[in-house]
Amino acid sequence: MDRGYIKSGSANIYYELHGTEGDYLVLLHGNAESMKRMKHQIEYFSKDHRVLAIDSRGHGESGFGQGTLNLGTMALDVENVITELGIKKVNVLGFSDGANIAMLLAVKCPELIDSLILIGGNMTPWGMKLGTLAAVKAAYYMTAVAGRFDARLKTEHEYYFLMAKEPSITADMLKRIRARTLVIAGSKDMIREKHTRLIAESIPNAQLDILDGDHFIIYRTPRIINERADRFLKGTAE
């Protein structure tokens, strides 16, 4: 395994490269997580792929850098890591905020991505179910105040910002994606099914799977998700 840090703007971004054969698969974790949460994906896919796992800016071993977190900068970080490592083409599997970062990357750099797997992503905060969105916004405003007195809550506020105020992706932006795309969500996801279907309908020729489970199906049923994603990457998906 290769690991290290790559300077991207004002932040040092941590990466790990697993596997020695096959094409590249970039793994992007969710909000307030790190690549450690994707251990089952790293183990499974590194057998046939060179897996590039990245800790998003302000998460895991990666630095925050200057300013506040935003998904656009985090997508640029991923681009910079890929470019600095001399990789010309990648597949990307992103979960939740990682899926949102993957969408932004695919819009910005269509020539870089061959295949795209989006799990539990959303185009805007309003893609979340209303109860979830209300809870997120309440936590966002609460940590804005409490963060003045507790540095740990200031960090949490940054994470809630990414959910309460971002992303801001339009259907027209998604229409520019040229990568083969698989969109996955849970049947009990915190993302509204209508919204998930809009993502799939907006990306040209995207495939859609609504699977039994909640938002965290990638972690609760990793075998099902991994095998489904593997079939898609190999071009054998139904």
Edge-first strand order for the sheet with 207-211 is: 2-8, 11-18, 50-54, 24-28, 90-95, 113-119, 180-186, 207-211
| Domain 2-124+167-233 class in CATH | alpha beta
Q: How does pLDDT run across 163-211, given as a tens digit for each residue?
A: 999 999 999 999 999 999 999 999 999 999 999 999 999 999 999 999 9
Q: Using the 8-state DSSP alphabet, how is residue 127 labeled?
A: G
The span from the CA of 196 to the CA of 201, in Å, is 9
Question: Does the N-terminal peptide bond of residue 167 adopt cis geometry, omega within 30 degrees of 0?
Answer: yes
pLDDT, residue 116, reads 98
% of the chain beyond a pLDDT of 70:
99
pLDDT for residue 238 is more than 70: no
| Residues 74/65, Cβ–Cβ less than 8 Å | no
Task: Kindly state the average pLDDT of the residues 199-228.
Answer: 98
Domain residue ranges in the chain? 2-124+167-233, 129-166
Handedness of CA 26, 90, 160, 148 (dihedral sign): positive
% of the chain beyond a pLDDT of 90:
93
Q: How does pLDDT run across 120-171, given as a tens digit for each residue?
A: 999 999 999 999 999 999 999 999 998 788 877 889 999 999 999 999 999 9
pLDDT, residue 131, reads 98
pLDDT, residue 139, reads 96
Question: Which pTM does this prediction carry?
Answer: 0.97
